[in-house]
Amino acid sequence: MTLIICFSLYSCNRTDKEKTIIRKKIVFVRDIPEKVIEKKVTGNTENLFIKFGLIDVNTLDSTICIQLKYSDTANFLHFPLYDDLEKAYFPCEVALKVCNAQYYLKKINPQLSLVIFDASRPWFAQKLMWDSLKMEVSVKFKFVAPPYLKSLHNYGCAVDISIINTENNQLLDMGSSFDSFEKISEPYREQYYLNNKKLDSTQIANRNLLRNVMKSAGFTSISSEWWHFNSCSKAFAETHFQLIP
Q: What is the reported pTM?
A: 0.83
In a domain, 15, yes or no: no
Can you give the residue range of the structural domain that contains 88? 32-240
In a domain, 13, yes or no: no
Q: Find the CATH number of the domain harbouring 41.
A: 3.30.1380.10
Helix (H, G, I), strand (E, B) or coil at 102: helix
User: For residue 145, what are the contacts with CB-CB under 8 A and spacing of at least 6?
Assistant: 126, 130, 151, 152, 153, 154
In a domain, 69, yes or no: yes
Number of H helices, E strands in the chain: 7, 10
Which range is most confident: 30-34, 107-111, 181-185? 107-111
pLDDT band, very low/low/confident/very high, at 12 (cuts 50, 70, 90): low
How many domains are contained in the chain? 1
Pair 100, 9: CB distance under 8 Å: yes
Q: Is 219 exposed, middle or buried (0-12, 13-18, 19+ CB in 10 A)?
A: buried
In a domain, 159, yes or no: yes
pLDDT of residue 93: 98
Q: What percent of the chain has pLDDT over 70?
A: 82
Nearest to 5 by CA among 35, 27, 38, 37: 27
